[in-house]
Amino acid sequence: MDNRLDLDGKPIKPITICMIGAGGFIGSHLCEKLMTETPHTVLAVDVYNDKIKHLLEQPAAGQPHLWVGRIQFHRLNIKNDSRLESLIKMSDLTINLAAICTPADYNTRPLDTIYSNFIDALPVVRYCSENSKRLIHFSTCEVYGKTIGSFLPKDHPLRKEPDFYVLKEDESPCIFGPIEKQRWSYACAKQLIERLVFAEGAENGLDFTIVRPFNWIGPRMDFIPGVDGPSEGVPRVLACFSNNLLRREPLKLVDGGQSQRTFVYIKDAIEAVLLMIVCLYFLSRSTNFCLWHTLRLMFLQENPDRANGHIFNVGNPDNEVTVRQLAEIMTEVYSKVTGEPPLEVPTIDISSEVFYGEGYDDSDKRIPDMTIINRQLGWNPKTSLHDLLDSTLTYQHKTYAEAIRKEQKKHYLI
Ligand code: NAD
Ligand code: UDP
């Protein structure tokens, strides 16, 4: 927090950030990062605040908190709250994370999904554009849909060619399934809001950055059904598999777990987001001295607006696994961190129709091309899949194991 300098070596000017969806998984990590490593103020907008409570509570007597007065929570639903515009007007930068973004909802609640990801985001874009405020909008890697290679026969040699599967921001097409496959309602809504943001930039000069996260995972992601979320709820795969491991039940592999994903550690990904904020305003010396120094030299010679007008893939191409492999690694790591023996039957197959219902479909493979983020921000992920699962499953066990033990004991007694 000390030694904060701008690109010319002068003390930096703190800014105010309106963060919509600040109470969610990514928002909670981003708030933490901004509070501990920058002097900025955050107007945290969400309908929930459980995941950022530790930042909002008054410090215990005698304990200084670096961020006292720098984070304010505003409980509001952006669907229907007129306070939104004034919060955006009060801020220098708006970051929009608010969304319905759990695949189990895309085909079962397609209207809510489309409204949340497109209609509800419209006023945010409009207020930013009309008030000349910078916008960082969170989209998704799902806008790429399926790979070109997925349409070739399984053993076709071209499937191994990067051109047929690597996803590039400025080249790859967006390939979705038919309308009946309502899984794509989310991707389609996200694509249209991306196009709108891009067009506002082109026609009205909106300063924007679009982020396409590729399966960011880590502590505080989603919920554990029956503990801090609905018993029948279906979160994303990390929480589904954590829930199975905590309850000592087999991990469910949808359609055989053949789909491939690349997973990036939330703490690595947040570094990338910080660079998108930082490069316009300041470089924090506390982030990482070598990186700071390299970037500072680079920025002294070049235009500092390196994140503006760009769409960024943010993922870790080195952490690719099939969902089946993910289940196997999580089973092994969970057993190591808890000392519990692995299950005799660690996985079972389940059809997508039974697990998600009608209208589900899947992305086959997601390898992010890293050229643009590398060139513009000099960012690279660091954490291996094994290491990120080690720390995440240690957290899951510490946070939830006791609550689940109590719940199971109660059921047993009934
Ligand atoms: P999350 O569900 O944990 O967070 C979203 C937050 O937005 C929640 O706290 C929710 O309460 C809030 N929100 C939703 N609608 C709102 C409304 N109308 N008014 C106020 N608050 C509202 O999800 P996340 O993983 O943190 O994702 C954040 C963003 O990143 C989303 O836009 C998502 O589509 C995108 N994304 C994330 C990933 C990932 O790997 N985590 C992958 C692709 C895209
Ligand atoms: N999946 C699975 N079992 C589960 C939950 C998810 O096999 O209990 C699969 C899902 O079908 C998809 C992948 O895991 O192929 C990743 O799912 P996630 O919900 O994390 O979201 P996505 O990456 O599809 O956006």
253 in contact with ligand 2, CB cutoff 6 A: yes
Q: For residue 289, how far is its CA from the centre of ligand 1 (angstroms)?
A: 31
Pick the atom of ligand 2 nearest to 261's CA: 23
Taking only the tens place, the pLDDT of each residue in 351-360 is: 999 999 999 9
Selected residue with higher pLDDT from 283 and 75: 75
What letters, b where the CB count within 10 A reaches 16 and e where it falls short, cover 7-21?
A: beeeebeebbbbbbb
The mean pLDDT value for 245-249 works out to: 97
Give me the residue label for tokens 């067009």.
199
With a CB cutoff of 8 Å and minimum separation 6, the contacts of 110 are 182, 185, 359
Percent of the chain residues past pLDDT 90, beyond the cut: 86
186 classed as catalytic: yes
At residue 44, the pLDDT reads 98
Q: For residue 97, how far is its CA from the centre of ligand 1 (angstroms)?
A: 5
243 in contact with ligand 1, CB cutoff 6 A: no
Interface pTM (ipTM) of the complex?
0.99
Phi, psi of 326 (to 5 degrees): -60, -45
Q: For residue 2, how far is its CA from the centre of ligand 1 (angstroms)?
A: 32
Task: Please check whether the domain covering 16-221+264-318+365-382 is classified as CATH 3.40.50.720.
Answer: yes
Taking only the tens place, the pLDDT of each residue in 144-187 is: 999 999 999 999 999 999 999 999 999 999 999 999 999 999 99
- The domain locations on the chain are 16-221+264-318+365-382
Query: Of the ligands numbered here, which is closest to the C-alpha atom of 143?
Result: 1
24 in contact with ligand 1, CB cutoff 6 A: yes
User: Could you tell me the pLDDT band of residue 200, with boundaries at 50, 70 and 90?
Assistant: very high
Q: Which of 127, 144, 186, 360 is catalytic?
A: 186
